[in-house]
C-alpha cells in the first residue's frame, strides 16, 4: 500500500526496509536536529515535500521527486464569504484573525494550511494525490509521551501539540470532517488512545483496517 510518512517516523521505514511513497517534513529544524534520519528520508523516499525555501538550505538533497510546500494565501472576509476558492476550503466563521489560517487545500499547488501538526499536511497531500481512503497511524497527539525517535543523546525539538490543539489542530480537523470527508474521501484513525474524538475522525482497529484493505 502507498504510505506517506513524516518527520522522524521515517525511522520505522528504515528499520523495516520499506520505502515510503511520500515523505513530508514541515519542521525546519529537523534536518539539523536529526541529520541521520533526515538523510535516510532523502535517500529512500520516492517523493519528498519540504517548504519551498528548505530545498535551498538542506545539505542532503532528495533522490526522489521533490515538491515544494507553500502556505495558502490569507483570504479577505469578502473573498471567504462571497467568492470562495473551491480548492481552498476555509472556515467561514471569521471571529478572529487566527481563524483565517484554518482551512483545507484540495490542490496543493495553490498552497496548504498548516494546522501545527504535520499530519494535516499529509492529509491534504493524500487528497491532492487522489487517494480515497486514508488510515492514520500514530496519530495520538499525546505531547507527554514524547517522540519515539528522540533519545536522551539527540536534540529534542520543541512540541506545541498541547498549545495549539484547541486553537488550530482540532478546528482544522473539524473543518475537514464537516466539509472534506465523504464517500470519496474517507479518513480513519488507528490510534485507539488518540486525543481526537471519534466523531471527528472515526477510530478503527488494525483488524478493521486490514479487512477494508482486503476488500
> Could you state, in order of their start, the residue ranges of all structural domains in the chain?
1-69
pLDDT value at position 135? 98
Kindly report the backbone phi and psi dihedral angles of residue 68, in degrees, each rounded to the nearest multiple of 5, phi listed first. Answer: -90, 130
Instruction: Read off the pLDDT of residues 77-100 as tens digits, 9 standing for 90 and up.
Output: 666 666 677 899 987 665 455 567
Residues 25-59: tens digit of each pLDDT = 999 999 998 999 999 999 999 999 999 999 988 98
The per-residue pLDDT for 78 is 64
pLDDT of residue 3: 96
The pLDDT score that the predictor gives to residue 132 is 96
- Look at residue 82 in the predicted model and tell me its pLDDT: 64
Q: Which residues of the chain fall below pLDDT 50?
A: 95
Estimate the crossing angle of helix 118-129 against helix 170-179, to 10 degrees: 20
- For residue 172, the model assigns a pLDDT of 96
pTM summary value: 0.89
**What was the pLDDT predicted at 153?**
60
Residue corresponding to grid cell 498552497: 111
Give the pLDDT confidence score for residue 147 in this predicted structure. Answer: 58
Q: Do 75 and 100 meet the contact criterion of CB atoms below 8 Å apart? A: yes
- Give the DSSP per-residue string, 81-144: HHS--TTEEE-----SSGGGG-EEES-GGG-B---SSHHHHHHHHHHHHT-SEEEE-S----GG
Amino acid at each position: 500500500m502507498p504510505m506517506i510518512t513524516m518527520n522522524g517516523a521515517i525511522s520505522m521505514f528504515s528499520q523495516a526496509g520499506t520505502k515510503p511513497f511520500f515523505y513530508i517534513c514541515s519542521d525546519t529544524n529537523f534536518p539539523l536536529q536529526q541529520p541521520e534520519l533526515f538523510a535516510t528520508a532523502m535517500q529512500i523516499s520516492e517523493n519528498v515535500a519540504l517548504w519551498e525555501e528548505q530545498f535551498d538550505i538542506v545539505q542532503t538533497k532528495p533522490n526522489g521527486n521533490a515538491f515544494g510546500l507553500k502556505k495558502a494565501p490569507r483570504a479577505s472576509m469578502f473573498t471567504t464569504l462571497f467568492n470562495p476558492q473551491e480548492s481552498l476550503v476555509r472556515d467561514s466563521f471569521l471571529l478572529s484573525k487566527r481563524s483565517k489560517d484554518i482551512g483545507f487545500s484540495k490542490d496543493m499547488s495553490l498552497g496548504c494550511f498548516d494546522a501545527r501538526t504535520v499530519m494535516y499536511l499529509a492529509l491534504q497531500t493524500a487528497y491532492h494525490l487522489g487517494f480515497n481512503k486514508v488510515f492514520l497511524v500514530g496519530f495520538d497527539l499525546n505531547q507527554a509521551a514524547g517522540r519515539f525517535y528522540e533519545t536522551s543523546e539527540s536534540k529534542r525539538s520543541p512540541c506545541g501539540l498541547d498549545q495549539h490543539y484547541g486553537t488550530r489542530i482540532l478546528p482544522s480537523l473539524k473543518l475537514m470532517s464537516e466539509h472534506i470527508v465523504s464517500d470519496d474521501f474517507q479518513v480513519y484513525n488507528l490510534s485507539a488512545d488518540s486525543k481526537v474524538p471519534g466523531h471527528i475522525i472515526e477510530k478503527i482497529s488494525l483488524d478493521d483496517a486490514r479487512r477494508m484493505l482486503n476488500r
